[in-house]
Structure formats: structure tokens, C-alpha cells
Amino acid sequence: MDRASKVVRSRNPTLVLAVSLTPALSRREREQQKEFAMATPANHLYRPSVARVLVLDGGVPVPRGARPQRRPCWPAKDPADVLDYQFDIAPALTGANGDAVATLDVSINPADPGGVFLVSAAADGARAVLWLGGGRVGTTYAVTLTIGTQAGRTLSRAVLLPVEALAGATSAPGVLQTETGAAVLDGAGNTIIVEG
């Protein structure tokens, strides 16, 4: 039998129904259709960007009197960016085969209106993956991650995230820049202003 369709007009002139007339399928035909039907939607494989990955220093002991290490810092973001940022704790898990991120607590300072906000957070093995958006130009945010592992380890680190106008705007007058036009940051991740 061929498929047919029929337009049915009711007595109400504004109501038009389209009815599809299809032949009834046999039980065998319905079973065959089920075999080819996809029961679940396909999931896309997520591969985070490697441009914003920080790796934990591994907890290497520092001798007394040594200069303190600089706080880790992700590349600057524009306020309109919503990007994935990763923090890899694999060096701290050396020798603990199979241990991975189990819990993740994130705080962002300063916590101001229009500031950087957490869109979502996930774990990918030994990596914490954060999606961050927003921010105020000229502000450096401290993103504190407290990570718990499946084996019960807990790590807490603060990572700096500078926010700059990267979407075609030029930097403020007096900002020290590299040859490529990027702002030069001090040890705390703040832009350096040259006076005079």
C-alpha cells in the first residue's frame, strides 16, 4: 500500500487538519524497525583545550631561604570569553595508580557583581576542568580549587586568572607591553603601569 495524506476541513473555516494515512505494519515489520532504531542519542567526545592547562608542581621540597614560587597563572581572558581551564594534579598522585579527582570545590575572589563566575566544573582523571566566564577588565582573580581524590587525598591551590580587554580593544595608557602588544604582568598577575 502507498502512503496517502488527506486534508480534512471542519465546519469551522479556521481549523484545518492534515491526516496521514499509513498502512498498518505487521508485527514482523515493527520488530525489524526496532532492530535498526537507535535507543540512545550519540554523545560527543569532549577534548579540552591544551592552551589553558596548568600542572601542579608536584610538591617538590623548597630549601629554607629559597625564593617562594610564583603563584600559578592561567592565560588572560576577555570578559566575553567562556572557556575551559584545567588544573592537572597528576604529579601529586605519582605512585598512586588509579587515584583520580573525586570532589571539587571552587571559590573565586574577588567575588563581585560582573566578576568571573563558574559556569560548570568536571573531573577528567587527574584533571579538574572548569568553565569560567565574565570578569572585569584590569582585575586579576584568584580561583581557589580544593580537590579531593578517590583515595582520600585533599589538595588546595589558588590559580590567578587575569581579565583583559582582548576583543580588539587596546590596553589602558601606561600599561607595559611586550613586542606583540600583550600586557606584562607582575608576580601576582597584575598589569604593570609605567608612569611618566
Provide the b/e sequence for 46-85 (b: ≥16 CB within 10 Å): eebeeebebebeeeeeeeeeeeeeeebbbebbebeeebbb
* Cα(48)–Cα(118) distance, integer angstroms: 16
pLDDT per position as a tens digit, 34-53: 555 555 555 555 666 777 88
DSSP characters over 25-60? PPHHHHHHHHHHS-SSPPPPPP---GGGEEE-----
pTM of this structure? 0.60
Class for the domain spanning 50-59+69-162: mainly beta
pLDDT per position as a tens digit, 117-133: 999 999 989 999 999 99
- Segments of the chain assigned to CATH 2.60.40: 50-59+69-162
C-alpha cell at 76: 588572560
DSSP state, 148? E
105 with 149: CB under 8 angstroms? no
- Judged by phi (left if over 0) then psi (alpha if -120 to 50, else beta), residue 181 lies in left
Residue 2: predicted pLDDT: 46
**Parts of the chain with a pLDDT under 50:** 1-10, 12-22
Cβ-proximal residues to 23 (8 Å cutoff; 6+ apart), any chain = 1, 3
